[in-house]
Amino acid sequence: MNKVFFAGFLLIFICFVPEAPARPLRVFVSILPQKYFVEKIGGDLVDVAVMVEPGASPHTYEPKPKQMVALAKTNIYFAIGVPFETTWLEKIAATNPAMPVVHTEADIKKIPMKRHHHQGTELEQDHHGIKDPHVWLAPPLVMIQARNILQGLLKVDPAHGSVYEKNHSSFIKELIVLDAEIRGAFKGKGKGVEFMVFHPAWGYFAQAYGLEQVPIEIEGKQPKPAELQYLIQYAKERGIKVIFAQPQFSWQAAQAIAKSIDGQIVFVDPLAAEWDANLRQVAFRFKSALK
């Protein structure tokens, strides 16, 4: 009699208890650095999938059918305002109406995307109203994103609120340290130190640390020989010594300029998974190249 009662009790226990707290929250983000941010705050409580696969571009990405299916089982989506979202975010949200879509870039004052090109002999900065989407590359802006991620997690999983709050505070402390470190690295280098970069992903980094980025890419394309000559001339006149390039992408233009101006190529990846180590390395290499 007792055994039967116990078995019955066990069955009820198995049926009702394990559901909610056991499994990690299923989270989707747009780009790899966001996985780093969400895991900092969510820890073991989250299982983070990334939409833009490694090596793909957040400017042109098209979600895979498999990813669209996975969204149906996702608890929350953290967007960041990268260009592919313009076309896809509505469709992403439509796959799962119960899934909140959080705009982690909300509250960030975006700067216009600068585009240097030459007209006659003048270098112009052209705005065209396009806002720079690369908000994840400056620690002060990541603090704002961290806040929005925290709010999102609290909304879908309030039961673990104190854990998220605690992790969030630790992450903010880390960001403050990192920010101070990078700031220190460029202290005394003079305001407005210019660097060239193939794809202009480093505008907010430059803004945060008193630097100035000069894009090589012209309207998303490789510069033509005449434009390349112009950029070399510009770099010589302005004493530019550092060229940022991404190892995965074609960097012949960057190499040609670096050679002509006796400058250094600093390899940087705006989408690195190890976000903090990457930024530290970028700052360190940048600083070394300036000496």
Q: Could you list the residues that contact Zn ion (CB under 5 A)?
A: 201
Nearer to Zn ion, 42 or 58 (CB): 58
Q: Which two tokens stand for residue 86?
A: 């313009």
Identify which of residues 137 and 185 has a Cβ nearer to Zn ion in the complex: 137
Minimum Å gap between C-beta 79 and Zn ion is: 16
Between 185 and 201, name the residue whose CB sits nearer to Zn ion.
Answer: 201
Pick 201 or 258: Cβ nearer Zn ion: 201
State the minimum distance, in angstroms, from the CB of residue 59 to Zn ion.
6
Alpha-helix residue ranges (DSSP H) falling in 80-209: 84-95, 139-156, 161-186, 203-208
Torsion, Cα of 6, 8, 12, 14 (10° steps): 70
Q: Cβ atoms within 10 A of the Cβ of 182, count?
A: 22
Shortest Å, Cβ 142 to Zn ion: 16
Tokens of 195: 């660097």
**What is the Cα Rg of the chain in Å?**
23
Least separation in angstroms between CB 177 and Zn ion: 27
DSSP 70-135: HGGG-SEEEE---THHHHHHHHHHHH-TTS-EEETTTT--PPBPPEEEEETTEEEEE-TTPBP--G
Task: Report the alpha-carbon distance of residue 107 to residue 8 in Å, rounded.
Answer: 54
Residue closer to Zn ion (CB basis): 27 or 201: 201
- Comparing every residue's Cβ against Zn ion, the nearest one is 201
DSSP state of 17: S
Measured from the CB of residue 257, what is the shortest distance to Zn ion in angstroms? Answer: 20
The nearest distance, CB 183 to Zn ion, in angstroms, is: 24
Residue placing its CB nearer to Zn ion in the complex, 59 or 166: 59
